[in-house]
Structure 1
Amino acid sequence: MRSAAAVKHFIVSKLLVYGSILFLVFIVACALFPGWIAPYSPTVMMPAQILQPPSAAHLFGTDFLGRDVFSVVVHGSRDSLFIGAASVIAGGIIGGTIGVLAGYVEGFFDVVVMRLVEIIMTIPGILLALAIAAALKPSLFNIVLAVAVSAVPGYARVLRGQILSIKRRSFITAARSIGTSRLQIFVRHVLPNSWSPLLVMATIGMGTSILVGSSLSFLGLGIIKEIPDWGSLLSQGRGYLTVAWWMSTFPGIIITMLVLSVNLLGDHLRDYLDPKNSRI
């Protein structure tokens, strides 16, 4: 019974991972080649088709301007994905650098830096991003900056803990005993063994960053463009929920599925990179 349950769990988990990968590939394709996937232009207004429900002609229905919602979602994926990817890269580089230096140098620098990081972590990430975005002018760069800054403390703490753990392992002690310099130990041994948790955290953080970026756009702090991103689509559709539920529902489903897919992929990557887990 246990073996049958384990096989069933393995199959289901693999199907979820492969499904997540396929969905992510589709979303990336939408961002890179929107004109090949969207059946209509996202800026073409069709007055005769205003607020049409989902149909074969309009998969996600039409909005209050007569635009095809599916086409707008496809074209809006570019900004949403860019916000998620760019903020993860920026936050990971900044936070990872802070964590690596704090963990390897230790001493007074570690105490000061990590106390500052802990102070920032007392502020909820979405609230910190909201405050930064509200203080700056709405632009793609400022949204990325706001989301990235809110993610920095998490990366810093994870990398610091990983560096401290690696420094106390036997192969580091052996390298010191033969006279290897601190710089060589850091470059050859510490850094190569510290990227796994950062990679997993960045993968999972991608979904969180997209969610935070969409939240800022929903609140009116996002990018003001002719082609709205997913958060702006949700905001536009909330006034039509009683007469055109599809305007907000489908962008919301896409955001939910993307965040879920990224989280599932991150969990699988964490299990795969964990040396304690046996791989089938």
Structure 2
Amino acid sequence: MREAATASTIWQKQRGRRLAAIRFRRFTASNLFVLGAVTVVLFIVACAIVPSIIAPYSPTEMLTDSIMQPPSAAHLFGTDYFGRDIFSVVVYGSRDSLFIGFASVIVGGLAGGAIGALSGYAGGWLDAVLMRCNDILMTIPGILLALAIAGALGKSLFNIVLAVAVASIPGYARIMRSQIISIKGRTFIQASQAAGASPLHIFWKHVLPNSLSPLLVMATIGVGTSILTGSGLSFLGLGVLREVPDWGTLLSQGRGYLTVAWWICTFPGVAITLFVLAVNIIGDRLRDQLDPKKSMR
């Protein structure tokens, strides 16, 4: 009996490794995913964390003999009206942009996920009250809601993160609520209830772990959306005035020179586009990988 149990355990472990290897190959099979992953790693690690390794100049260094120079070997993205190297400013400016994107997704995802989980699992009058408040927020366009919050709170990096996070809460709440309602009506939940498990135990051990996949996918894609929203706020003049501006502020500062120095605002816009595209590719790949209907094929 022991030998049979040992053989069964070994077989299960080998089967688990094979399934994990198959999932990993499927996950990395797409060339678009690989391109997106590399782009994200370059943006986060090289630009945001260690920008001095990538940037050839200081972002505050003003080269008075090279004002508004077009892209060249010496200045890959050209220079601006202060003589600053645009490439260096874009690299250093990624810190604030990426911080806004990731921090707002964490705050909005946690808050929206908590509201959706409470609403979907509790049900009744609490569900009705929370969802009606959520519906009111959903009737307001996200950028308009973020603009109103940021304008009321004032210019600071924390206020921008808070504004973008609040604007994203309704979407996370809706996704989480629908997933919770779907999970709690399944057979294994009913079996746990029949076995005498408490509602809190069922929620933490069964309902919540099986409801996080859609929220994770939405949060991944939401990083790009949050960066776009934060850049839009900066473009409209609600960004933080710092020595090293973020991508949205760079766009705002360069728009007046578009006809005479197109590179000043073009390359920050390209940086935003590439990063958002990379994050969306990863989010799509995650959605395909975590979709149980596709994983069964």
> TM-score, normalised on structure 2?
0.89
- 1:90 matched to which residue of 2? 107
Q: Separation in 1 of the partners of 2:119 and 2:188? A: 21
2:150 aligned to which of 119, 128, 133: 133
- 1:106 matched to which residue of 2? 123
Q: Separation in 1 of the partners of 2:296 and 2:93? A: 38
Shift of 1:136: 1.3
CA-atom RMSD, angstroms? 1.5
- Spell out, residue by residue over 1:115-140, the C-alpha distance to the aligned partner (whole angstroms, 9 max, x if none): 01001100000000001111111000
Q: Check if 1:209 corresponds to 2:226.
A: yes
Q: Is the 8 A contact 1:233 1:247 kept in 2?
A: yes
- 1:20 matched to which residue of 2? 36
SS at 2:268's partner residue?
A: helix
SS at 1:135's partner residue?
A: helix
2:188 aligned to which of 171, 175, 181: 171
For residues 196-235 of structure 1, the aligned pairs below 5 Å read 196-235=213-252
- 2:138 matched to which residue of 1? 121
The aligned amino acid for 1:24 is V
Shift of 1:178: 1.1
| 5+ long unaligned stretches in structure 1 | 1-9
The aligned amino acid for 2:180 is I
- 2:94 matched to which residue of 1? 77
1:62 aligned to which of 71, 76, 79: 79
- 1:5 matched to which residue of 2? none
Q: Check if 1:244 corresponds to 2:261.
A: yes
SS at 1:228's partner residue?
A: coil
- 1:183 matched to which residue of 2? 200
SS at 1:175's partner residue?
A: helix
SS at 2:30's partner residue?
A: helix
Shift of 1:265: 0.6
Q: Separation in 1 of the partners of 2:108 and 2:250? A: 26
- Spell out, residue by residue over 1:51-75, the C-alpha distance to the aligned partner (whole angstroms, 9 max, x if none): 0000111000000000000000000
Q: Separation in 2 of the partners of 1:191 and 1:136? A: 34
Q: Separation in 2 of the partners of 1:51 and 1:279? A: 56
Q: Is the 8 A contact 1:272 1:279 kept in 2?
A: no
Q: Separation in 1 of the partners of 2:124 and 2:188? A: 22
The aligned amino acid for 1:222 is G
| 5+ long unaligned stretches in structure 2 | 1-25
Q: Separation in 2 of the partners of 1:231 and 1:222? A: 8
Could you say which structure has the larger radius of gyration?
2
Q: Check if 1:155 corresponds to 2:168.
A: no
Q: Check if 1:260 corresponds to 2:263.
A: no
- Spell out, residue by residue over 1:171-205, the C-alpha distance to the aligned partner (whole angstroms, 9 max, x if none): 00111111111111011101110110110000000
Shift of 1:279: 7.3
Q: Separation in 1 of the partners of 2:78 and 2:195? A: 69
> TM-score, normalised on structure 1?
0.95
- 1:49 matched to which residue of 2? 66
Q: Separation in 2 of the partners of 1:34 and 1:278? A: 39
Shift of 1:233: 0.4
Q: Separation in 2 of the partners of 1:216 and 1:279? A: 43
- 1:3 matched to which residue of 2? none
Most deviating of 173-182 and 139-148: 173-182
Q: Is the 8 A contact 1:143 1:222 kept in 2?
A: yes
Q: Separation in 2 of the partners of 1:67 and 1:59? A: 12
Shift of 1:278: 3.4
Q: Separation in 2 of the partners of 1:126 and 1:260? A: 19
Structure 1 168/131 Cα, relative in aligned 2: closer, same or farther at 3 Å?
A: same
Q: Separation in 2 of the partners of 1:13 and 1:189? A: 31
Q: Separation in 1 of the partners of 2:124 and 2:234? A: 41
- 1:4 matched to which residue of 2? none
SS at 1:276's partner residue?
A: helix
